[in-house]
């Protein structure tokens, strides 16, 4: 009786990120050169969790050797979640075994990593699994300052967009509210805001507990007023979309009919957070007799299928190679990471949070030394802004309220730390 050779399968879950094709390409090349047949499972877990094994693409060196230059996914992608139903998880294992697969590489973010760990557990040693961390949100808890792949490319293109909006804003005297992806962490928004020098950046980590919509609105209103007092009617605000999930549930009642994905998450892309904030901020500014043009813009889909920059191309080619090599040498049950230029396997058990049973999330530590300059971008008002001689007093007078009332309105937004540099006005040259 002739036995079919065992196969290596590659599967992509979650949302797109620049560099997916680089992982697929080098993982395939390393596998084929090692004498293994490699196949791509199309559209993530979508079909195999239904017992379908006809959505499979043979992967050959000649068909993948140049795909690393392009964004998207050569074998498709989906957010199908097999862990919600034990029968779906078992169907995935059976489908892969029917395809004669004994090695599996999954590429994805926190949800796909969790699915990979559960699938490996369910297979009971019949299928060895390695996960490659992919997400432009950079929210997987990798060792040290290791990035998830796709983050650097997404930040690069996000900065280009914000840079152009900054020029447009100054030219037309308007504000832009830019909402960046980041469901659980504000890395992408902060990375874009820091690099571009955005007027203001707001991320969920800046607020220690649930944040109210009113506090976000007041923060932005305060920043616009301070900006106006310096003679600038324009600005760019960068927001992490995760602010929506960090909000007080009472503030989300108006969003109760919003669609949710297969993992139970609110489809934040379906919530026009920028437009909601725009309307509330304009209402807040009316209290002070101020009218300003605000344009809300979501960026995310423009970033996640971009062609990868060289950083992500090199990084992801290394990840794909290491994933296949680790499996070929008998490895199993890890997430592939590279730290300080060296391969570092992270066991599935270390990925999991014992409290939630889910994959650990890496939040932005805004108190870390490397983010101190970033906090200056997030500073709204200072105590010396409330001096009578300051221009902000004029806004209080325009609104017909006392300076004390103005101070009360914004007191809880004030930073205690002194300005990093004492600014003085130089007299104009004669």
Strand ranges (DSSP E) for 4-148? 7-12, 37-41, 56-59, 101-108, 128-133
Which active-site residues does the annotation give? 137
Place of tokens 């509210």: 177
Task: Kindly report the backbone phi and psi dihedral angles of residue 11, in degrees, each rounded to the nearest multiple of 5, phi listed first.
Answer: -140, 140
| Angle separating helix axes 110-123 and 86-98, nearest 10 degrees | 70
N-to-C CA span, the chain: 98
Bridge partner list, 103: 8, 128
Q: Which helix (H) or strand (E) element contains residue 346?
A: strand 342-347
Task: Kindly report the backbone phi and psi dihedral angles of residue 381, in degrees, each rounded to the nearest multiple of 5, phi listed first.
Answer: -135, 155
397 Cβ contact list (under 8 Å, min separation 6): none
Strand ranges (DSSP E) for 157-244? 175-180, 200-202, 235-240
98 Cβ contact list (under 8 Å, min separation 6): 53
């Amino acid at each position: 009786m002739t036995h079919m050779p065992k196969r290596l399968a590659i599967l992509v879950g979650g949302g797109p990120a620049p560099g997916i094709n680089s992982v697929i390409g080098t993982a395939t090349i390393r596998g084929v050169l090692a004498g293994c047949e490699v196949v791509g499972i199309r559209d993530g877990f979508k079909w195999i969790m239904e017992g379908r094994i006809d959505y499979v693409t043979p992967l050959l060196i000649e068909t993948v050797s140049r795909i690393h230059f392009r964004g998207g996914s050569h074998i498709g992608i989906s957010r199908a979640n097999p862990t919600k139903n034990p029968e779906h998880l078992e169907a995935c294992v059976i489908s892969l075994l029917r395809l004669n697969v004994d090695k599996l590489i999954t590429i994805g973010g926190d949800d796909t990593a969790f699915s990979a760990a559960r699938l490996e557990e369910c297979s009971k040693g019949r299928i060895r699994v390695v996960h490659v961390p992919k997400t432009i949100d950079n929210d997987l808890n990798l060792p040290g300052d290791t990035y998830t792949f796709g983050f650097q490319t997404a930040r690069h293109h996000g900065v280009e967009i914000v840079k152009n909006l900054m020029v447009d804003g100054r030219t037309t005297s308007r504000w832009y509210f830019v909402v960046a992806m980041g469901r659980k962490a504000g890395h992408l928004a902060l990375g874009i805001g820091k690099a571009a020098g955005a007027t203001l950046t707001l991320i969920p980590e800046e607020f220690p507990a649930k944040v109210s919509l009113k506090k976000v609105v007041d923060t932005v209103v305060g920043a616009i007023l301070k900006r106006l007092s310096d003679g600038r009617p324009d600005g760019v605000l960068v927001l992490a979309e995760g602010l929506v999930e960090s909000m007080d549930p009472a503030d989300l009642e108006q969003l109760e009919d919003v669609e949710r994905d297969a993992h139970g998450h609110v489809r934040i892309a379906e919530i026009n957070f920028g437009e909601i904030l725009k309307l509330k901020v304009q209402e807040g500014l009316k209290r002070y007799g101020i009218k300003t043009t605000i344009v809300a813009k979501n960026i995310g889909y423009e970033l996640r299928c971009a062609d990868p920059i060289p950083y992500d191309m090199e990084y992801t080619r290394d990840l794909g190679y290491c994933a296949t090599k680790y499996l070929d040498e008998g490895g199993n049950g890890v997430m592939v990471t590279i730290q300080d230029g060296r391969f570092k396997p992270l066991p599935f058990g270390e990925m999991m949070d014992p409290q939630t049973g889910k994959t650990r999330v890496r939040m932005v530590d805004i108190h870390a030394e490397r983010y101190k300059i970033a906090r200056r971008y997030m500073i709204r008002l200072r105590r010396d802004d409330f001096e009578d001689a300051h221009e902000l007093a004029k806004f209080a007078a325009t609104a017909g309220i006392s300076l004390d009332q103005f101070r009360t309105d914004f007191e809880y937004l004030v930073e205690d730390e002194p300005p990093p540099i004492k600014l003085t006005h130089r007299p104009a040259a004669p």
